[in-house]
Amino acid sequence: MGSIQTDERIKEAVRETYGGIARRFVEEPASGPEKAAEGPAPASCCGPSEAVADERPQTSCCGPSEAVADCSSVAARFYSAEELTDLPDSVADASLGCGNPLAIAELQPGEVVLDLGSGGGIDCFLAAKKVGPKGKVIGLDMTPDMIKLARQNAKKIGISNVDFRYGEMEDMPLPDDSVDVIISNCVINLSPDKDAVFREAYRVLRPGGRLSISDMVVDGDLPQVIRDRLDAWAGCIAGALDETVYLDKIRAAGFERVDVLSRDQAEIDEATEWDEVQVVVAGADGQEAKDLLTQTGLSPRDLVSRVASIKVKAHKPA
């Protein structure tokens, strides 16, 4: 059965969600720094949580929850203390990924790196350190307020080899064969046209270039009632493809040596299973999540165990 959502509606929902998150961190000169609203602390960004710390409702940084206070716990989960040192709060707290693509990117000094869906810029700033002054990092994002936040963060850090550009990863504003490495953290699942994303990634990479991504995938399929939810799209779940289908799309674009280097899934017990279900059906409150699950006929564990965050590496032939 096809989805009731159109590509335009999905993109609009994604843009609205991430624009709202970005605005919590953008500092307007007139009003001063705007702090994120107090609320339940997120234990997971974009999916399975390794540790649901307490009994507060689970929220997803990647998702649409109004209650997202900050994502600092997410940054601490995916990045080392050394990586996070020196980064302003508006970088680390706005981290919305589901992994750390730099861990597999093997960046070298002088390389040109493109980050698809760069958000507040965390991976760009870390990559910029690795490629050094002779290298360059381009952050691409389709949400104007995210670009604003990332540029503000670059100014705070005083970094000059990172350039944030507005644009869509399905139609990248970059020339052919112009990039050594593409990274991306929890973004490609948000695209309604993943074939176009991988086709474009292949086009802009130079021969011999590589793709290093962290993203959400599922095992099998998700129930249509979840796939149809715009908040679950923005929450990095509804657009997540079956892992095999996802990898086949990378290969179909021309990439070779496509390898999954890690796969993380939520560990749930009775105390946390409903929190995790709420992450999967992002935006749903407790009762709504229960009603949705009843419609799917799945147990909380069955549903949550289908979702994983993977790190994938792939190469454009030399």
Ligand X SMILES: C[S@@+](CC[C@H](N)C(=O)[O-])C[C@H]1O[C@@H](n2cnc3c(N)ncnc32)[C@H](O)[C@@H]1O
Please give the angle made by the CA atoms of 201, 246 and 262, to the nearest 5 degrees: 95
Least gap, CB of 74 to ligand X (angstroms)? 8
Task: Give 94 or 298: the residue with its C-beta nearer to ligand X.
Answer: 94
3-class DSSP assignment, residue 256: strand
Task: Give 71 or 304: the residue with its C-beta nearer to ligand X.
Answer: 71
Please give the angle made by the CA atoms of 108, 111 and 113, to the nearest 5 degrees: 110
Least gap, CB of 238 to ligand X (angstroms)? 13
Least gap, CB of 294 to ligand X (angstroms)? 29
Task: Give 298 or 308: the residue with its C-beta nearer to ligand X.
Answer: 308
According to DSSP H, which parts of 79-210 are helical? 81-84, 89-92, 102-105, 122-131, 144-157, 194-204
Task: State the residue for tokens 């099998």.
Answer: 220
3-class DSSP assignment, residue 308: strand
Say which residues have a Cβ less than 8 Å from residue 20's Cβ, sequence separation at least 6: 64
Task: Give 17 or 274: the residue with its C-beta nearer to ligand X.
Answer: 17
Task: Give 41 or 146: the residue with its C-beta nearer to ligand X.
Answer: 146
Task: Give 205 or 298: the residue with its C-beta nearer to ligand X.
Answer: 205
Tokens representing 98 are 């589901």
3-class DSSP assignment, residue 164: strand
Tokens representing 139 are 């952050």
Closest by CA to 191, choosing from 212, 222, 216, 173, is 216
CB-count burial class (<10 Å; 0-12, 13-18, 19+) for 8? exposed
Query: Which parts of this chain interact with ligand X (CB under 6 A)?
Result: 14, 18, 46, 62, 95-97, 117-120, 122-123, 140-143, 146, 168-170, 185-187, 190-191, 236
Task: Give 135 or 235: the residue with its C-beta nearer to ligand X.
Answer: 235
Least gap, CB of 316 to ligand X (angstroms)? 20
Task: Give 185 or 298: the residue with its C-beta nearer to ligand X.
Answer: 185
Specify whether the CB–CB gap between 100 and 310 falls below 8 A: no
Neighbours of 257 (CB within 10 A): 11
Closest by CA to 226, choosing from 153, 169, 283, is 283
Least gap, CB of 274 to ligand X (angstroms)? 23
Task: State the residue for tokens 């793709």.
Answer: 211
Least gap, CB of 299 to ligand X (angstroms)? 27
Task: State the amino acid at position 241 in one-letter form.
Answer: L
